[in-house]
Chain A
């Protein structure tokens, strides 16, 4: 017998014997250590609700220009750092009366009185009120440029508040009226922490703000800008008191952040003792939900992901609209569409209904064409506005009508360049559908989508388009969009701002200015109706559809309510609970 074969036999026999013996062995009693040892030391399954988000937060302070981003807001600026208002499910302003009540006490000058809940305190016990409002004024008014703050547009209009540390009633006076006065961020970051880190007492800091003493606040501003950055680990928890039902509990870089119930919270306590936000790439969220590693997901919608989710058991899938819509903008500066009749001809052949049917309905069966620009389908005034503005008239395609308008204008095979940002499969398909329809009417649609469409010196900035197809983030607030339709000073890449096609209507300009200064919501709605009517009459832009939103959660979690605004599903995380 050869040596190799003998070894082989031995090995086979030994392995076989080992396996057989072991198979018998598994039936035997386990070692005694097992019972005494581990069973009690394992943590019990807890009732933490887990939400998945792709990006991880990187700063407790999401108000600086550097850190203003959804990854920070969805975690901290919903129920950890609460303000006097938040976004409601339809994206409007929902006042948070647990923090403060407020009312407009005068129209001229616009004056708003805030009355803070007398029980309102930061989670470290510090008083919440005047000092915090003073800090927000200092950061937001643009008077103290050492503080980085995302926008001075609104606070820049507010005069220096006159209140003392400890005051719970604060009156803000505007230099000029402002439409979104209800949505002013009043309480942003904890003033007592900023003061302490700036080497001041709260009183000293408030005095410095009142006295405009920039030098004294330099250190405080440094902390405000950089002191709350995560840098791979949480800053000292003492620096991060909460004003909402949750406080930060723990953070594991790259993995998750956990919020725990704020025991000092004076209002309705959070239902779940803990909420965890795990950082999971979008395309991996469905399987993580299926394997119970997350309970709520909010991925970007596409037909495959919707189908995949609908195939799962025990999962609720909710599709809907969100405040993001795509639209076609005409170029009023150069090209054929300076002519109103040609704009009309083009509008008649754009298959808006078909675009929604083919591209949006597979992800949101309820989807309809978007017939206004600044009001979205789920807002209560939508139907009225559409009827008033006449947006519903542009739903059906009229090839013959378009053809006639073109012939009357003496055009045939009119070349139209539609520009958009690539890669974007949905928008590419939109252009294909428009081409299929409009070429019949006598247009010659050319797809000029490019990767540099939005870039500096790209087609959009330089006006190298006849029609531009892109998206706007909408909002129930009105101060953000008026400049988009306002006559521009100069139609240059830097001068035209958001009015990419350099549309101009002097009459409309007046209405837009009126809106910015209108403080009565009911009147604002009427003014917006007029704007929409003018925009349709002039055919300034053609709105197409709102982008579909998608939220899915496991049925074991209660009270998950999607939110159309940028606040995301986390807006009511204090009401989530595990069954």
Chain B
């Protein structure tokens, strides 16, 4: 294992070194670094040109410039850009911005995409499958700058306008309810009578909920409330245990329900603690939740501890998450007032000079992350759902799945234990590479939403034919790809015993 890692790193760094040379030369040749100044007629242009020639060392050949840069790099100095600013500080800021922007989107995109893919594989050739395939390809083919402009127009500008009097018109409720009913009915597998019932339930529930939200002006001052937290966390705990452990094994379910229940019952006591929270105390609470849930899982899990503990931890964290969301929504009303009644942002990563308590600042970040995250998820959804669907289908047609069915295992066991686990192996590569991609930034999304991340830094410097910052971005992206590729390979060997690293 260690030999493998050492060998991989050695080879990769040589490849990376060669790539930096090619990259440097390409960037230096990509245009005229003095172009903008040549077009200027101002008397200052000459002095500006002289300064830039000196800063970019345009008077020496490109390879000499490259080795100058490389020498600095080995001394731990990433160099300066053409106006004398340290690349390392720019890179630190850009990496932080990109991580904030892309990590949540990548995680959510992968989770949602895989879920949809697996469900549509299990319902192959159903109307749900066809609908998802259609939607996936539509999203796949949308240009992100266009999606972004539409999101800004409808989800930000017009939604903010609508928030002044948040009443949903009846026809919209009807339309959405019909759509929701159709989606549920299309997932249901069975006779038309069952489908009709599912449609009816889906329709009615959606309509009632939307009507209630509209009538109570929920959007003006939203929140979840204790009953919601209690019911949803218990239902999720039960659902997850039913899926993973099955009905026939009740200990894991008890553990999960206990963990969710304890969490939800702490709703009121927690409010005081949360009112002056900070990031550290939230992380502390999360850690505490994990420890308590683990203990619950350990105690109640009995012989099925290995299933009970993760289930309990999951339920505990989910409940905690719901309480967190509930608390953050309590800040909504005062937040909206403080941002001139326009909570959803179209640009930037923060409201300038915004200062409030932890919840307001978090809500401010969330409101700025909302649209870019949605755009990235929509675009990335297609890939994940298609890959996981294909992989899942392939596994479902394997002999050992047929064997598992033949020996009378329940369908849940066949799918979750035999098919799903193996189906996910190829997906690890894709998710790992996705994470490597995070470090090259999301060029278009960053530009459209005004985030100064790695992608924005890369394109700006490339446009200005300024190699040093480009090389900084390149090193980060290159190193990320090398490392995540390695992680993918190691994970592969771990997940699939047929693969050996040596």
Binding site for B on A (CB under 8 A): 2-8, 10-12, 14-28, 30-34, 36-39, 41-46, 48, 50, 56, 58-59, 64-68, 148, 150-151, 153, 225-226, 229-233, 249-250, 252-256, 258, 274, 276, 278-281, 284, 287-288, 290-294, 421, 452, 454-456, 470-473, 475, 479-481, 484, 498
17 contacts between A and B (CB under 8 A): A6-B247, A12-B198, A20-B209, A22-B227, A26-B228, A31-B330, A34-B330, A46-B353, A66-B51, A68-B44, A233-B89, A276-B352, A284-B448, A291-B344, A454-B35, A470-B39, A480-B42
Say whether chain B's binding surface is mostly helix, strand, loop, or mixed: helix
A291 touches B411 (CB 8 A): no
A37 touches B271 (CB 8 A): yes
* Chain B residues within 8 Å of A43, by CB: 338, 354-356, 360
Residue B190, interface by CB 8 Å: yes
Instruction: Give the distance in Å from the alpha carbon of A509 to the alpha carbon of B342 in the complex.
Output: 61
A37 touches B275 (CB 8 A): yes
* Chain A residues within 8 Å of B487, by CB: none
Of chain B, the residue at the smallest CB distance from A24 is B227
B223 touches A26 (CB 8 A): yes
B228 touches A67 (CB 8 A): no
Give the contact stretch, choosing among B9-17, B151-159, B297-305. B151-159
B338 touches A229 (CB 8 A): no
The smallest beta-carbon distance between A494 and chain B, in angstroms, is: 11
Instruction: Give the distance in Å from the alpha carbon of A417 to the alpha carbon of B455 in the complex.
Output: 40
B346 touches A454 (CB 8 A): no
The smallest beta-carbon distance between B57 and chain A, in angstroms, is: 14
B412 touches A20 (CB 8 A): no
Residue B189, interface by CB 8 Å: yes
Given A279-B450, A284-B450, A292-B342, check contact A65 B149 (CB 8 Å): no
B337 touches A254 (CB 8 A): no
What string of 1s and 0s marks CB contacts (under 8 Å) between B38-82 and chain A?
111111100110111001000000000000000000000000001
Instruction: Give the distance in Å from the alpha carbon of A64 to the alpha carbon of B330 in the complex.
Output: 50
* Chain A residues within 8 Å of B340, by CB: 45, 292
Residue B188, interface by CB 8 Å: yes
The smallest beta-carbon distance between B374 and chain A, in angstroms, is: 15
Chain B residues 134-186 with CB under 8 Å of chain A are 149, 152-153, 156-157, 160, 184
* Chain A residues within 8 Å of B239, by CB: 11, 14
The smallest beta-carbon distance between B152 and chain A, in angstroms, is: 5
A38 touches B42 (CB 8 A): no
* Chain B residues within 8 Å of A31, by CB: 225-226, 267-268, 271, 330
Binding site for A on B (CB under 8 A): 32, 34-35, 38-44, 47-48, 50-52, 55, 82-86, 89-90, 92-94, 97, 149, 152-153, 156-157, 160, 184, 188-190, 198, 201, 205, 208-209, 212-213, 216, 218, 223-228, 231-232, 235, 238-239, 242-243, 247, 267-268, 271-272, 274-275, 330-331, 333-335, 337-340, 342, 344-350, 352-357, 359-360, 410-412, 447-452, 456
B347 touches A66 (CB 8 A): no
B205 touches A19 (CB 8 A): yes
* Chain B residues within 8 Å of A7, by CB: 242-243, 247, 412
- Complex partner residue of A42 from B35, B40, B82, B335, CB under 8 angstroms: B335
Of chain B, the residue at the smallest CB distance from A288 is B347
The smallest beta-carbon distance between B470 and chain A, in angstroms, is: 17
A67 touches B337 (CB 8 A): no
A22 touches B448 (CB 8 A): no
Instruction: Give the distance in Å from the alpha carbon of A29 to the alpha carbon of B34 in the complex.
Output: 65
Instruction: Give the distance in Å from the alpha carbon of A15 to the alpha carbon of B41 in the complex.
Output: 69
A150 touches B412 (CB 8 A): no
Of chain A, the residue at the smallest CB distance from B327 is A33
Instruction: Give the distance in Å from the alpha carbon of A309 to the alpha carbon of B99 in the complex.
Output: 34
A498 touches B41 (CB 8 A): yes
- Complex partner residue of B338 from A12, A42, A284, A498, CB under 8 angstroms: A42
The smallest beta-carbon distance between B282 and chain A, in angstroms, is: 15
A25 touches B160 (CB 8 A): no
- Complex partner residue of A20 from B93, B205, B223, B267, CB under 8 angstroms: B205
* Chain A residues within 8 Å of B354, by CB: 43
- Seed contacts A3-B412, A37-B274; 11 additional CB < 8 Å A-B pairs: A4-B412, A12-B198, A18-B232, A37-B271, A38-B330, A42-B357, A65-B51, A68-B44, A252-B350, A454-B39, A472-B41
The smallest beta-carbon distance between B165 and chain A, in angstroms, is: 17
- The 6 A-B residue pairs with the shortest CB-CB distance, nearest first, are A254-B452, A33-B271, A232-B89, A25-B227, A42-B334, A65-B51
B157 touches A290 (CB 8 A): yes
The smallest beta-carbon distance between A43 and chain B, in angstroms, is: 5
Of chain B, the residue at the smallest CB distance from A260 is B353
- Complex partner residue of A293 from B271, B275, B346, CB under 8 angstroms: B346
* Chain A residues within 8 Å of B272, by CB: 33
* Chain A residues within 8 Å of B212, by CB: 23-24, 26-27
* Chain B residues within 8 Å of A25, by CB: 225-228
Given A14-B235, A48-B352, A287-B346, check contact A484 B41 (CB 8 Å): yes
The smallest beta-carbon distance between A302 and chain B, in angstroms, is: 16
Listed residue (A7, A38, A229, A281) with the most chain B CB atoms within 10 angstroms of its CB: A38
A153 touches B43 (CB 8 A): yes
Instruction: Give the distance in Å from the alpha carbon of A65 to the alpha carbon of B46 in the complex.
Output: 9
Given A18-B228, A293-B347, check contact A232 B92 (CB 8 Å): yes
Of chain B, the residue at the smallest CB distance from A41 is B357
* Chain A residues within 8 Å of B47, by CB: 65, 68, 150-151
- Complex partner residue of A480 from B41, B48, B356, CB under 8 angstroms: B41
A37 touches B352 (CB 8 A): no
A21 touches B90 (CB 8 A): no
A30 touches B223 (CB 8 A): yes
B84 touches A226 (CB 8 A): yes
Instruction: Give the distance in Å from the alpha carbon of A45 to the alpha carbon of B239 in the complex.
Output: 44
Given A5-B190, A42-B337, A455-B35, check contact A150 B345 (CB 8 Å): no
Instruction: Give the distance in Å from the alpha carbon of A15 to the alpha carbon of B333 in the complex.
Output: 28
- Complex partner residue of A38 from B48, B226, B355, B360, CB under 8 angstroms: B360
Of chain B, the residue at the smallest CB distance from A258 is B353
* Chain B residues within 8 Å of A33, by CB: 271-272, 274-275, 330
- Complex partner residue of B189 from A4, A232, A498, CB under 8 angstroms: A4
Listed residue (B272, B339, B347) with the most chain A CB atoms within 10 angstroms of its CB: B347
- Complex partner residue of B231 from A3, A21, A41, A292, CB under 8 angstroms: A21
The smallest beta-carbon distance between A422 and chain B, in angstroms, is: 12
- Complex partner residue of B38 from A10, A281, A454, A484, CB under 8 angstroms: A454
Listed residue (B42, B339, B447, B448) with the most chain A CB atoms within 10 angstroms of its CB: B42
A253 touches B41 (CB 8 A): no
Instruction: Give the distance in Å from the alpha carbon of A4 to the alpha carbon of B86 in the complex.
Output: 60
* Chain A residues within 8 Å of B347, by CB: 278, 280, 284, 287-288, 291, 293-294
